[in-house]
Structure 1
Amino acid sequence: MTNVTYTIIFYLFAAITVFSAAFVVFSKNVIYSAFSLLFTFFGVAALYVYLSADFIAVTQIVVYVGGILVLLLFGVMFTNKIMTTSLRTEVVNLIPGIAILFAVTGGLLYVFYTRANWYSTGVQLQGSVVERIGLETMSRYVLPFEMASILLLLALIGAAYLARFDKVQNKER
């Protein structure tokens, strides 16, 4: 493919990501925001693939789309009666938010065009880094990996206990 094709693909996925993220922020319906968050996560994953970061792209899809977004959707759908109530949010502080948006965008563009020294080595990365990450995780970093998994398990048990404790307490009253 030509350089122009790569540029068009990049801008297409960047536009999908930005517009769906804007819809997440400005939508008044929580369900619509959650579903547009799906497109935002997929757009970010596509940009990772475009940058040859295949492991991070797959991790983005598995963790954010497969875990967090599904959890968010089920949480919203199970805690509220979808048919009887309207799940609406109010977009407040629109003027200060837009002012902060322009300030941050201006600052980023200023740094991008005037302060950053960009260089390219011209070397294209070949192959995948997944094998190397797997070997490092299961050899040199196995203890921190297992400690993180135990910490996550304890957090899950604690969250389940807190959710259950609240229900037991309400039944006693």
Structure 2
Amino acid sequence: MLNADFIAVTQVLIYVGGILVLIIFGVMLTTKVFDVPVKTETLHVGPAIVVTGAIMGTLFGVILKTKWFDILNVQWDGTTKKIGERLMTDFLLPFEVASVVLLVALLGAVIIARRERVKS
């Protein structure tokens, strides 16, 4: 609606990627934890079902009441092509430098988190 399709998709991808990296680092850095008892309690199942049902009901209500045809008739140019052209022409060097910095950070995290080999 605001002609910001690229920003919307980029924001979703960055947040999903950030959560994924957080989970991967959490797994990599906690591999030395053994014998941790995991307790499961079923006391919260009832309230969880009620809250989940309320959220799903709200979402379905919003989906059914939205005028989808009005949204689909909006015409816009889109910003993806313009941003892509600028990124691959004017800002190619900063883009490549950022990718190398991220690669080095990822390799550093792997080296820090890896297990030491036991010599036998």
TM-score by length of structure 2 reads 0.50
- Summarize the Cα distance change of 1:161–1:144 in structure 2 as closer, same or farther, 3 Å threshold: same
Report the residue type matching 1:126 in the other structure. W
1:129 is aligned, of 56, 69, 79, to 79
1:59 paired to 2:10: yes
For residues 75 and 160 of structure 1, the distance between their equivalents in structure 2, rounded to whole angstroms, comes to: 9
- Summarize the Cα distance change of 1:76–1:160 in structure 2 as closer, same or farther, 3 Å threshold: closer
Task: Give the match's secondary structure for 1:60.
Answer: helix
For residues 162 and 79 of structure 1, the distance between their equivalents in structure 2, rounded to whole angstroms, comes to: 9
> Would you tell me which structure has more helix in proportion to its own residues?
1
Check conservation: 2:6, 2:79, Cα contact below 8 A.
yes
Which runs of 5 or more residues in structure 1 are unaligned? 1-49, 87-124
Which runs of 5 or more residues in structure 2 are unaligned? 37-74
For residues 93 and 29 of structure 2, the distance between their equivalents in structure 1, rounded to whole angstroms, comes to: 38
Instruction: Kindly provide the CA deviation profile for residues 79-127 of structure 1, in whole angstroms up to 9, marking residues without a partner as x.
Output: 77xxxx99xxxxxxxxxxxxxxxxxxxxxxxxxxxxxxxxxxxxxx931
Instruction: Kindly provide the CA deviation profile for residues 49-101 of structure 1, in whole angstroms up to 9, marking residues without a partner as x.
Output: x4331111101111212x11233345557777xxxx99xxxxxxxxxxxxxxx
1:139 is aligned, of 89, 93, 101, to 89
CA displacement at 1:162 relative to structure 2: 1.1
Cross-structure match for 2:106: 156
For residues 78 and 151 of structure 1, the distance between their equivalents in structure 2, rounded to whole angstroms, comes to: 20
Cross-structure match for 1:71: 21
Correspondence list, 1:3-152, <5 A: 50-65=1-16, 67-73=17-23, 126-152=76-102
Check conservation: 2:3, 2:79, Cα contact below 8 A.
no
- Summarize the Cα distance change of 1:147–1:73 in structure 2 as closer, same or farther, 3 Å threshold: closer
CA RMSD, 1 decimal:
3.1
Structure 1 ranges of 4+ moved more than 3 A: 71-80, 168-172
Q: Please say which structure displays the higher CA radius of gyration.
A: 2
For residues 110 and 3 of structure 2, the distance between their equivalents in structure 1, rounded to whole angstroms, comes to: 39
For residues 116 and 98 of structure 2, the distance between their equivalents in structure 1, rounded to whole angstroms, comes to: 31
For residues 99 and 20 of structure 2, the distance between their equivalents in structure 1, rounded to whole angstroms, comes to: 21
